[in-house]
Amino acid sequence: MTLQQMKYIIAIVNCGSITEAAKQLFISQPSLSNAVKDIEKETGIEIFQRSVRGITLTPDGTEFLSYARQVVEQAELMEKRYRGSKPSKKICSVSTQHYAFAVNAFVNVIETLDTDEYEFTLRETRTYDIIEDVRSFQSEVGVLYLSDFNERVITKLLKENHLEFTSLFIAEPHVFISSTHPLSKKKTIAIADLEKYPCLAFEQGTYNSFYFSEEILSTAEYKKIIHVSDRATLFNLLIGLNGYTICTGVLNRNLNGDNIVSVPLKTNEKMNVGWIKNEKANLSGFAQSYVSELERLIKEY
């Protein structure tokens, strides 16, 4: 088994298909497929499960990928130390619910990098897709929350997909509204106070379950509700329609400006915000730095 073969497996997982990986590696698809078969024959395991929908990692393949990433990362460190060679392009993906602090941490880590090349992906996406991204190694880290309401369902889903949840902080729910909203000067807001204003919520697509909602109190009845897919749209509607959304209360003025304010919501509910990883995976250097920066930012906020 060679170092190059391990890099092939990592590339296939990062790209999501043998065809795309072959293009990025500048080799033919049959050559890459044969390389995979050679590794599977040598190790005596099946790394990828093939179907009409494409390929997915088997349990053995998941474990193999974890070791391969460690070996390749260590080899690159040795080359950099003893050959003075140019470090390879850094690659990492993160999937998260729509949190400004998650974006801020991503920005801060990238700014500290001493490298000429990198390829990173930050997905602000749906709850189910975050879990699927981390399960399939499309992302190393996922950021989401648990509550008394969704914890049983989400925890079961994480366990079934061999994912680990690590808590970052316990948040008391707040209401995000515009600084000119009629309720913006209140010290606390009750759900009843919000009745005549439109509630803004992130849509969850096919998996549109109350348990996957990014907003706590998802089962409450709202007379007016607008589903959106991105943070920019949500903030525009907060301002333009005097709308509101329920969230963690962690607000970054560098990213959100002074047009949005956060007011505590009268409720006994709590949000346990944390990050997830595949239990068989070892985080890359960037992913480790990202988690550390998340922890630092939360303490700062």
Give me the residue spans of the domains in the chain.
1-88, 90-301
Note the pLDDT of residue 254: 59
pTM of the model: 0.74
202 touches 228 (CB < 8 A) = yes
Note the pLDDT of residue 275: 98
Phi, psi dihedrals of residue 6, rounded to the nearest 5°? -65, -40
Write out pLDDT tens, residues 123-173: 999 999 999 999 888 899 999 999 999 999 999 999 999 999 999 999 999
150 touches 211 (CB < 8 A) = yes
User: Which alpha helices (DSSP H) does 54-126 contain, by range?
Assistant: 59-82, 100-111
Note the pLDDT of residue 81: 65
Note the pLDDT of residue 178: 94
Give the pairing of strands 118-124 and 174-178. unpaired
- Region of residue 173 (phi > 0: left; psi between -120 and 50: alpha; otherwise: beta): beta
What is the spatial distance between Cα 90 and Cα 103, in angstroms, rounded to a whole number?
A: 18
Note the pLDDT of residue 103: 93
Note the pLDDT of residue 84: 63
130 touches 96 (CB < 8 A) = yes
- Region of residue 54 (phi > 0: left; psi between -120 and 50: alpha; otherwise: beta): left
The two tokens of residue 220 are 């409450």
28 touches 22 (CB < 8 A) = yes
CATH number of 1-88: 1.10.10.10
Note the pLDDT of residue 72: 84
CATH value of 90-301 in 3.20.20.70, 3.40.190.10, 1.25.40.20, 3.40.190.290: 3.40.190.290
Low-confidence ranges of the chain (pLDDT < 50): none
39 touches 66 (CB < 8 A) = no
Radius of gyration over every alpha carbon of the chain, rounded to an integer in angstroms: 22
Note the pLDDT of residue 117: 80
Angle between helix 285-300 and helix 100-111 axes, rounded to 10 deg: 120
